[in-house]
Structure 1
Amino acid sequence: MCKQRPQQLEFLFVQDVQLTKCMRLRAQSLQQRNERPQDGEKLLRPNEYIYRVDFVRQHNLYFLHWKIQMEKAGKVMVTGTSQHWTPDLTNLMNRQLLEPVGIFWKKPGTKEVECNEADAQEFGERLMELAKIRKVMYFLLSFTDGLDPAHLKCSVVFKA
């Protein structure tokens, strides 16, 4: 989804429930058959979810800022992937996880969401470049310290 304001485009992170479920089934299947994952394969942990961003506009975008809203204290790590998923669910490999990672947190009793500004800025600028060549991008979001998907709204804002 994309919210449009004069001169700004806000691209929302949308949880991909189906893809997350498929990836959890992969991990469960390996465990049930007592098999190991492929060398370098990234299996989803219980606190990790797959999100997607649909870039409805791809050109002349300039990163402005992240818009992260947390309804309660906790921490989320946002990792971009270079993966293009296919209907047969190509497995996610660790080498497909992009750097830097955006880490956002909210301390108990505060309203402000904090982050490492330099990494968040670099990550946003990297997304700006990737948006030029991708209509859809997938992300791995890892939740800790009591935060979960129900208490997070995440988007990235670009100048058009």
Structure 2
Amino acid sequence: MAAEAGELKLPFIHDDQLTRCMRLRAQSLQQKNAKPQDGEKLLRPNEHIYRVDFIQQHNLRFLRWDIQLESSGKVMVTGTSQHWTPDLTHLMNRQLLEPVGIFWKKPGAKEVEYNEADAQEFGERLVELAKIRKVMYFLLAFTDGLEPAQLKGSIIFKA
């Protein structure tokens, strides 16, 4: 679905560098047989870090999610409250926001389904965060055979 006049379409950008960095942290702990910090969230193999760049920060109103999945499967989108830097700043569980946006596509289906109430609340929270952030990071977990290459996603706001 194309963004209409007055709409601002902000795409999810896969942050390969940060995803790799966080995987190295998990690998390093495993090799040293060390424990993560108390409350630290380690990236699982099916989890990837994405970012959204807020090219406009004020006077935004959440309109809708534009999530397209090329095949069946499920993706869980979790926002983070942290200002991340790629210097191995640890992600803590308490920095993961509620609610989570869950989007799925059943085998043979054309449309992506989702829990509208949670997705709406999540989108509205993003408007508040956009006022204080130029960039926001998200943890995306792919399940049921879905891969990052099969996702195209954006958040659409009224500007």
TM-score of the superposition, structure 2-length normalised? 0.97
Residues in 1 aligned to 2:87 and 2:136: alpha-carbon distance in whole angstroms: 17
**What runs of 5+ residues in structure 1 fail to find an aligned partner?**
none
1:105-124 correspondence runs (5 A): 105-124=104-123
Percent identity of the aligned residues? 78
Aligned to 2:64: 65
Indicate the RMSD between aligned Cα atoms, in angstroms: 1.1
Aligned to 1:98: 97
Q: Does 1:6 align with 2:5?
A: yes
3-state SS of 1:36 partner:
coil
1:1-150 correspondence runs (5 A): 5-150=4-149
1:144-159 correspondence runs (5 A): 144-159=143-158
Cα displacement (A) at 1:85? 1.4
Residues in 1 aligned to 2:158 and 2:96: alpha-carbon distance in whole angstroms: 26
Cα displacement (A) at 1:88? 2.1
| Preserved CA contact (<8 Å) 2:17 2:86 | no
How many residues are matched? 158
| Preserved CA contact (<8 Å) 2:18 2:86 | no
| Preserved CA contact (<8 Å) 2:21 2:86 | no
**What runs of 5+ residues in structure 2 fail to find an aligned partner?**
none
Cα displacement (A) at 1:126? 0.4
